[in-house]
Amino acid sequence: MRMAQIFIRDGHHVEVLTLESQEEVARRTFPFPVTAIGKGIGRYGYNPKLAPWLRQHAGRFDCVIVHGLWNYSSLGSWRALRSLSTPYCIFSHGMMSPWFREHYPLKHLKKQAFWSLVEGRVLRDARYVLFTCDEERQSARNVFRGFCYKECVAGYGTADPTGDADSQKSVFLTTFPALKNKRFFLFLGRIHPIKGCDLLIEAFAECISTIPSDFNLVIAGPDPSGMIPGLKKLAEKLGISDRTHWLEMIEGDLKWGAMRAADALIHPSHHENFGLVIAEAMACGTPVLISDKVNIWREVVASQGGVVEPDTVEGTRKLICRFLSLSGEELAKMKIAARQGYLQYFDVEKSARNLLNLIKATTGERR
């Protein structure tokens, strides 16, 4: 959405076609026309309205950008566009990660069969398959057999935070007074087994004798998998429940205030395709401590705006220890580097320009 806003601001025309209901779309405000054709049938979302709409309207556009795989939005787009002159590009959004093959082998076999029949053709006929970073591009190779495709790193990003930093910190600390005058690591995101929150609790407990007494752990986010009760028991068993704070999903100034107040954002994830929250933290000048299974880890290392280790208890312990061993001068440099890393790699303005240049190269002088 933010990229579309930038395109429109710069004089281009954008429309969105979505497999949502008109009622869902009507609840929100968009700066561009949105056509909602309904969710379709079943989890796959088959919708007989998708391909006819694209066939009818594709000629009005220089390019179609498809988001995501393994649902009817990709197949329906292919059915409509493969015989037309309007090219399409498709963002995989991490949906070809080898992590899923390793952890869900039976599901992967089903996907391989579907790839051979359908999805592989969708990517083969795309002008480009787009990846958000180079790690995602490399890791997607050879996950599925058959059908080659043209790959391109288009980049991805997030908007620069707005608002007054001090006011946002004040709002956060006023809302959660137990964190006043405390230093803390912040985990911010969906509580899910893939995120490694159990590693974080175990590693924090292992380091507790060397962690300053005013240093806490804050875990904030929704819990769709029902993990929090078990994680709380683990923290109690390991003797760190008094140093661990559990917040629900926070948004707006509360979210930005949490990022600005935190000493570092920590994500020991087992898999993360991009990690917008990591880019957002860097935009705030907050160092990030992440595993090497977060696909933007190379950019974090290159920017020197954070620390990277494996997604294990030992690796997470090293994240904590390496950060706490920084001198005041080194920490100040890392904060500056985090902000510069955001501007260099994750600023949505730059990502939008990259995508626009790719579209121009794809379409040439076509109008």
What per-residue confidence (pLDDT) applies to 242? 94
Is the pLDDT confidence value at 336 over 90? Answer: yes
Using alpha carbons, list the distances in angstroms from residue 16 to 2, 54, 58, 158: 13, 11, 12, 19
Q: pLDDT tens, 67-102?
A: 999 999 999 999 999 999 999 999 988 889 888 888
Is the pLDDT confidence value at 134 over 90? Answer: no
Is the pLDDT confidence value at 177 over 70? Answer: yes
Label residue 104 by pLDDT band (50, 70, 90). confident
What per-residue confidence (pLDDT) applies to 103? 83
Q: How many residues comprise the chain?
A: 367
Is the pLDDT confidence value at 65 over 90? Answer: yes
Q: pLDDT tens, 205-238?
A: 999 989 999 999 999 999 988 999 999 999 999 9
Label residue 25 by pLDDT band (50, 70, 90). very high
| 74, 119 contact by CB (below 8 A) | yes
**Phi, psi for 48 (deg, rounded to 5):** -70, -5
Could you list the beta-strand ranges (E) of the chain. 16-18, 34-36, 64-67, 88-91, 128-131, 151-153, 183-188, 215-220, 244-247, 264-267, 288-291, 306-309
Tell me the average pLDDT across 287-312. 96
What per-residue confidence (pLDDT) applies to 159? 87
What per-residue confidence (pLDDT) applies to 273? 85
Beta strands 64-67 and 88-91, pairing class: parallel
Is the pLDDT confidence value at 144 over 70? Answer: yes
What per-residue confidence (pLDDT) applies to 35? 94
Is the pLDDT confidence value at 367 over 60? Answer: no
What per-residue confidence (pLDDT) applies to 80? 95
What per-residue confidence (pLDDT) applies to 292? 94
Start-to-end Cα distance in the chain? 23
Label residue 146 by pLDDT band (50, 70, 90). confident
What pTM did the predictor assign? 0.85
**Domains defined for the chain, CATH in brackets:** 2-157+349-363 (3.40.50.2000), 165-346 (3.40.50.2000)
Q: What is the pLDDT of the chain when averaged over all its residues?
A: 93
What per-residue confidence (pLDDT) applies to 254? 95
Is the pLDDT confidence value at 274 over 90? Answer: no
Is the pLDDT confidence value at 3 over 60? Answer: yes
